Chains A and B, each alone.
Chain A
Amino acid sequence: MELIEMKHITKIYPGTVALDGVDFSLKQGEILSLLGENGAGKTTLMKVLYGMTQPNSGEICYKGEPLRLRSPIDAINKGICMVHQHFMLVPAFSVTDNIVVGAEPHKGIFLDKAKAKREVQELIQQFHFNIDPDILVERLSVGEQQRVEILKALYRKADVIILDEPTAVLTPTEVEELFVILRQLRDSGKSIIIITHKLKETMELADRIVVLRDGRLVADDVRPAEVTTEQLSSLMVGRQVDLQIRRPAKNIGEVCLKVENLTVMDHGQAKVKNVSLEVHAGEILGVAGIEGNGQTQLLEALTGLCQPKSMALTLNGEPLSGACDVFIHHGVGHVPEDRLAMGLVKEMSIKDNLILGYHRQDRFCGKGGMMKQAAIDGYAEKLKEEFLIKTPSVNAPVSSLSGGNQQKVIIARVFSQSPKALIVAHPTRGVDIGAIEYIHQQLIDIRDSGAAILLVSADLDEVRTLSDRIVVLYEGQIVSESMPGELSEVELGLLMTGSKPAGKGETHA
């Protein structure tokens, strides 16, 4: 039986038709994977279903009855819950408090704490969530926080759980754990909608696949068993995409970026311990590792964002130190970890974001400090065309772009400055396969034009296909260095968790 039917949903934003007469349905007890390129309208469709935004036309039926959603509260009351990509938890509250907040059990006018705890405990046991209900949320890992979000939905008796790119922030093991939970929920009769850009995950998890392209429905009854990832990607993008092709560096040059004795302290703890690295011109050095093993601090030290306890850094033999402006000025490009927090100013226009950090260059800024509007306009238009940024206009705010296109703004900004060295963090997080292919190609091109690239990514596949050399970062130290292909995925995975695969990979202490 169809649990939810959305009919002819159309949503128009100023300048964009985000959804164009989409019909969507969800059955009880299925895991549905919603696929589509960046900007295809996946999030928008789910926001409509969750009452976060009102469609311009169309209707929603729930168990055969028409449903009017004025706000998420209406949706939650009907048992439709959404887990957002950015968690909405209070770090200083316990797991239980976070779960019950807004729907607390009462005893008279008082909070019934005992009952709350009992109910949460039962839920945790019922679904084998393996979380301590009394622990403070700030002490949980990202994966555990996500489970708390799911518990929140279950506590509100959700029948439908929507997950918007839940795996983007998870480690491979956490992804596996999440899938176990989701299957269990399905088997207990819940319906799940999951948005992801990783086709591998879709194939593994989904019962049914729905594909959106440009705000239109292109397929709504695809069974994973009946398709290949190639077919799926051509449904999404309209052409073949293969992300596994390796393109090794042809002309690796001299050492460009050289880091010695890097130690970074954070709150009295050494997060990076005496690390030394060399990246050659025309080479991509991949840093694999589970997040939280010093990647953030490594990136901050190499871009001037933090002053390390010790570091000797040279760029083409010249010593380099100082704040971010010095690094940028000397040609060290930076694709930051968290694009919205560090890389973009979402309230400002795409145009303004395309020159951020380079806005004092003579071509954008005159002698008296006046910005050269015409030059900036032209430049932004050029980058928009060149990097295929999907927007009606470069004057639109960055917040109106889909996640993948936001990332393209950063890539366009940094890559078009012909940097000598590039510090790149998670370049394709939350980006669709078409755009991933494109960004990978850009990375390879800029490498082949002689840039030295340090690539930090939580996506092991990405590190393995792009890198010309791979190091593994574990607890702030480099525990292995290898050539691509030398170590298998499993071996690298073991190194990332601190164990040593027998007899392989030289180990630097």
Chain B
Amino acid sequence: MKEKTMNIKRHNAKQAILTSVLAMVVSLVLGAILLAICGYSPIESYIAIFGSSLGTVKGFALSLSQATPLLFTGMAFAIAYRVRMINTGAEGQLYVGAMAAALVGAYVTGLPSVVHVPLCLLAAALAGGLVAGLVAFLKNRFGANEIILTLMLNEILILFTSYLANGPLKAEGSGVGQTNRIQESAQLFRLIPQTQLTIALLVGIALAVILQLVLNRTAFGYEIQITGYNLLAARTAGINAKRTYLLTFAISGAVAGLGGAAMSLGVNYRFVEGFSASYGFGGISVAALAAYSPVGVILSSFLIGVLKAGAITVNRTTDIPVEFVSVIQVLVIIFVAAPTLIRSLIALPKKLAGRGKQAEVKKEGANS
């Protein structure tokens, strides 16, 4: 009997993965058609996009480093979504996290790397967590809508950090808005020299696994899921929903803040005004692609990272407009967002087979 349900569970997981993979395939096919219509060879284009981003060490490292910030913001969105809160504030949390990490990295001196780096990460997590925690507090206290709050806070935080980077905290002699370079002891270890691929990726993966365990194995994660699925049942069961909202959203903000730290400590070595290529919002589709599972985000952020790296190579080496890569990206997201579409595609062969079977049954019936 146990086996049977294991099968059901595995069946569901299989279904989810199949949906994402099929979404991918369908988008690639549609992208190929579009490319062909516009007069580009689909095969050559795809070789340009995936050949380097998957086929060379440098390109692969680029894919992974492009994936890293999305890994964090994707997890941030996913975990908040589990209590059915929408964290559209990852962008702002990313910025304060990046600023906090850059400041601790630049102004705290004389520490060994093993202490300095965690300290910077802690600062980033705290900054992001506090900002998100404030939003959840306002939601709990006054019934404010977290989407509107976070969107407004994004503007405020981006402009505020920008002010800091251009004003009081501006690096001496710099022409652009950026803070002082961080100490060597605060720089993240590079997994592959001369690339932007750092240990932040491993931190992110570890965090994804931890978050997944928290969700599935702890009483807190249980309460997150109950509250997310059925608030009234959670309250009836004596679960403090407000506390669950507050903690989960703060965790979400902290994770987004860590994404900012990954950029400050691993890529730019300082806070740079406007550093984010909309990573905060990119996290939303990454999370959706992963069906809001933290571990799933590892895969979905990698996928988007590959496409982003592909876009960079395409831009450098061919005359194919980069927009095509964005189109494929968007197609993947549309298909994942419309799972019924993909599911009916999955069911199609079964249905056809089923019809055959029914016909057989009818024949048998007629014989007897």
Q: Is the CB of A303 within 8 A of B236?
A: yes
A268: chain B residues at CB < 8 Å are none
Do most interface residues of chain B lie in helix, strand or loop, or is the interface mixed? helix
Closest to B11 in A: A14
Quick one: CB contact mask for A355-394 with B, threshold 8 Å, 1 for yes? Answer: 0110110001100111101000000000000000000110
Given A329-B238, A392-B5, the answer on whether A341 and B233 have CB atoms closer than 8 Å is yes
Given A325-B238, A327-B238, A359-B219, the answer on whether A345 and B230 have CB atoms closer than 8 Å is yes
Closest to A15 in B: B4
What is the number of contacts between chain A and chain B, taking CB atoms within 8 Å? 97
Q: Is the CB of B219 within 8 A of A393?
A: no
A329 to chain B, nearest CB (A): 7
Q: Is the CB of A347 within 8 A of B229?
A: yes
Q: Is the CB of B233 within 8 A of A344?
A: yes
> What is B's interface to A at a CB cutoff of 8 Å?
1-2, 4-9, 11, 217-220, 222-223, 225-226, 229-230, 232-240, 357-358, 361-362, 365
Given A345-B230, A347-B229, A393-B5, the answer on whether A336 and B219 have CB atoms closer than 8 Å is no
- The residues in A between 330 and 362 inclusive whose CB is less than 8 angstroms from any CB of B are 334, 336, 341-348, 352, 356-357, 359-360
Quick one: CB contact mask for A419-437 with B, threshold 8 Å, 1 for yes? Answer: 0000000000000000000
Given A59-B362, A341-B233, A343-B233, the answer on whether A304 and B238 have CB atoms closer than 8 Å is yes
Interface size for A (C-beta < 8 A) is 41
B238 to chain A, nearest CB (A): 3
Q: Is the CB of A343 within 8 A of B9?
A: no
Q: Is the CB of B235 within 8 A of A393?
A: no
Q: Is the CB of B232 within 8 A of A341?
A: yes
Q: Is the CB of B240 within 8 A of A342?
A: no
B11: chain A residues at CB < 8 Å are 14
Contact of A328 among B222, B223, B238, B365 (CB under 8 A): B238
> What is A's interface to B at a CB cutoff of 8 Å?
8, 14-15, 57, 59, 303-305, 323-329, 334, 336, 341-348, 352, 356-357, 359-360, 364-365, 368-371, 373, 392-393, 395-396
Closest to A400 in B: B8
Given A15-B4, A15-B8, the answer on whether A348 and B229 have CB atoms closer than 8 Å is yes
A290 to chain B, nearest CB (A): 24
Closest to B218 in A: A369
Contact of A356 among B232, B233, B240, B357 (CB under 8 A): B233
Given A14-B11, A371-B217, A395-B9, the answer on whether A357 and B236 have CB atoms closer than 8 Å is yes
Q: Is the CB of B239 within 8 A of A370?
A: no
Q: Is the CB of A392 within 8 A of B1?
A: yes
10 contacts between A and B (CB under 8 A): A15-B8, A305-B236, A342-B232, A347-B230, A370-B217, A392-B1, A395-B8, A395-B9, A396-B5, A396-B8
Given A324-B238, A325-B238, A393-B1, the answer on whether A57 and B358 have CB atoms closer than 8 Å is yes
Contact of B229 among A343, A345, A357, A368 (CB under 8 A): A345
Given A15-B5, A347-B229, A393-B1, the answer on whether A371 and B222 have CB atoms closer than 8 Å is yes
- Taking A303-B236, A368-B218 as known contacts, 18 extra A-B pairs with beta carbons closer than 8 A to each other, sorted by chain A number, are A8-B365, A15-B5, A15-B8, A324-B235, A324-B236, A326-B238, A336-B236, A343-B236, A344-B233, A348-B226, A357-B237, A357-B238, A364-B219, A369-B220, A371-B217, A373-B217, A395-B6, A396-B5
Contact of B219 among A324, A365, A392 (CB under 8 A): A365
**Cα A346 to Cα B225 with chains together (Å):** 12
A346: chain B residues at CB < 8 Å are 229-230
